[in-house]
Structure 1
Amino acid sequence: MALKSTDMAKNMAKKLDGSLKSESLPDRFGQSSKSTSSKRERAAEIPASKLVPVNYRLPAELVNRLRDHAMNHDGGINQMVAVALSDWLDTQSTNK
């Protein structure tokens, strides 16, 4: 049974999409400068504690101040926020 032209177009699109996804980015997009470690290797470098992504809405001025301060912090913004929240929670539990 012959394929319809729409079915042939769908199959060709799937084949093209698969080949585009399997190709790596050219060197000009900065892939060559990055290490070629896989996601598993990077995940193995994360400490034993599970990191959970969290989204919050904060005022823009506060976020800008936070970014500026985090530039000088050793662990980056994630470490700085974790320490700040931990310290604040510790003070809240002692005030009760």
Structure 2
Amino acid sequence: MALKSTDMAKNMAKKLDGSLKSESLPDRFGQASKVQNNKRERAADIPASKLVPVNYRLPADLVSRLREYAVGTDQGINQVVATALNDWLSTQTKK
């Protein structure tokens, strides 16, 4: 005797429920999630001198010169700009 389509759907749903119940929960849910630090605790572990993204508009020729210099010195462009700004700011007098 053949099963009706609704009976087949019920049987498939039972199989799916059984397989879902037999699997264990991933670590990000349940008891394992309590072990991880929350966002504030993780932020407290980060050093105070973290990098901050800043956007500036510079002339194209200056940017190309910066890139060439950074490649020539094996430093990143961020390090070159930070060094240049630190040097320039140290020469400025406080008003």
TM range (shorter): 0.3 to 0.5
Q: Which has the higher contact order (CA 8 A, sep 6+)?
A: 2
Structure (1 or 2) with the larger CA radius of gyration = 2
TM-score (structure 2 length as normaliser): 0.46
What is the TM-score with the length of structure 1 in the denominator? 0.45
